[in-house]
Amino acid sequence: MWIDVLTLFPEVFESYLATSIVGRAVAEGRVTIRCTNFRDFAKDKHRSVDDRPFGGGPGMVLMCGPVFDALESVEAQRKEKPQRILLTPQGARLTQRVVAELAQEPALLLVCGHYEGFDERIRIRINAREISVGDYVLSGGEPAAMVLVDAVVRLLPGALGDEASADNDSFADGVLEYPQYTRPREFRGMRVPEVLLSGNHAEIAAWREEQARQRTAQRRPDLLGPS
């Protein structure tokens, strides 16, 4: 997979990309991630990327020119038309379902804004999938883009040490995980549930399923659907 990221802070990504499962996927060539600073496409000598809003009001607005020029430049260097993604608080919520869909794409192009927001004509013309990572205010799209990249890349074939663990994840099957234990059998008076030591695999599976169900009902009833 190819992932392009348009951002005013490419250095934020570069260090992150060197670590974790994402870093390994990059090192092993399963994904190529390139960051492009749209400030490099600014026209004036101050390298401006934003300007005051027409109609007045506080803050600044990201201008069309540098964003479109960067986008067109990046796409001209790719064979595949990427799925364009705009990270914005106004987007649809990122869920595991969306992540799984994006993981099927051969190429993604992520556009990060920041607090000032985009000129509306960017939003309209790039015709991107608009995605938010949740109902809280970030100072920019970069952390959201990293969340998305991490979630997508770990689903790419070969990215997981244990192929089975992707399907095992919370959310993949719509419930939270069951509690896990490892040695010792007793720690500060807290004992590992007897069933896990029993060697009875059917009973263990049933216990885990029930624990997962209870935990989901208690903490995340929304995952169990409307009722």
Which residues make up the interface to ligand 9D3 (CB under 6 A)? 59, 87-89, 113-115, 117, 132-134, 136-141, 144
Q: Which of 10, 66, 82, 154 is catalytic?
A: 154
Rank residues 55 and 199 by Cβ distance to ligand 9D3 and give the closer one: 55
Q: Which of 11, 51, 163, 169 is catalytic?
A: 169
Respond yes or no: is residue 116 known to be catalytic: yes
**Helix orientation angle between 142-153 and 10-17, rounded to the nearest 10 degrees:** 30
Respond yes or no: is residue 162 known to be catalytic: no
- Exposure of 221 by Cβ count < 10 A (0-12 exposed, 13-18 middle, 19+ buried)? exposed
The CB-of-44 to ligand 9D3 minimum distance in angstroms stands at: 24
Cα 51 to Cα 58, 66, 163, 168: the distances in Å are 11, 12, 48, 47
Respond yes or no: is residue 89 known to be catalytic: yes
Q: Which of 105, 116, 130, 150 is catalytic?
A: 116
The CB-of-132 to ligand 9D3 minimum distance in angstroms stands at: 4
Rank residues 11 and 209 by Cβ distance to ligand 9D3 and give the closer one: 11
- Exposure of 171 by Cβ count < 10 A (0-12 exposed, 13-18 middle, 19+ buried)? middle
Residue with tokens 């970069």: 142
Q: Which of 39, 53, 89, 208 is catalytic?
A: 89
Rank residues 65 and 113 by Cβ distance to ligand 9D3 and give the closer one: 113
Q: Note the Cα 40 to chain centre separation in Å.
A: 25
The CB-of-94 to ligand 9D3 minimum distance in angstroms stands at: 8
106 Cβ contact partners less than 8 Å away, ≥ 6 residues apart:
1, 2, 80, 82
Rank residues 115 and 181 by Cβ distance to ligand 9D3 and give the closer one: 115
- Give all strands (DSSP E) within the chain, no chain letters: 2-7, 32-37, 50-51, 61-62, 83-93, 107-112, 129-132, 186-187, 190-191
The CB-of-93 to ligand 9D3 minimum distance in angstroms stands at: 9
Please list the active-site residues.
89, 116, 154, 169
